[in-house]
Amino acid sequence: MRSLIAFAAAATALAAGRPPLVIEEGPTMRDEPPPHGAIGMSTAYRISDAVPGRTMEFRKRILHVGAAIGPHPIAHDEVYHVLSGEGVVLSGGREAPIGPGATAYLYSGETVGIRQVGKQPLALIIAYPLPSPAP
């Protein structure tokens, strides 16, 4: 009977799945040059780095005035969602202005990037899949 109860408890725990992992952005913050060319400075929030076994990256980055994530090829789809500020996004050899509330969907196989324009920093969320789960 005990083994039946233990089995039922284990089955219930498995059915419940993994609990949500809530990450506060403050401890993930660091100032660093943006990736892909180190053009200017940025504040990076490496939010998903704390997630064991993750299959995607989820980051917030603030590009300081004059900063950019330089052009780079991607082997996955990627999303830039602008929280505040103004920028110009690059993909497929074309540029497009982007501002608060707008999202750029970038396709695998393209060369992409984004640069801050104007007088305010450009704050954005960046999300993309990893080629394999993180440790």
Supply the DSSP string of 114-127, one letter for each residue.
EEEESSS-EEEEEE
Q: Which residues contact 126 (CB under 8 A, 6 or more apart)?
A: 57, 58, 59, 60, 61, 78, 79, 80, 81
* pLDDT for position 5: 52
Whether residue 7 is contained in a domain is answered as no
CATH code for the domain in which residue 75 is found: 2.60.120.10
The count of domains in the chain is: 1
pLDDT in tens, 70-99: 999 999 999 999 999 999 999 999 999 999
Q: Which residues contact 89 (CB under 8 A, 6 or more apart)?
A: 80, 95, 96, 98, 104, 106, 112, 113, 114
- Give the range of the structural domain holding residue 118, as residue numbers without chain letter: 23-129
Question: Tokens in use for 10?
Answer: 């284990």
What is the mean predicted confidence (pLDDT) over 48-55? 93
Residue 6 has pLDDT above 80, yes or no: no
Whether residue 61 is contained in a domain is answered as yes
Whether residue 9 is contained in a domain is answered as no
Name 72's bridge partners. Answer: 112
Whether residue 50 is contained in a domain is answered as yes
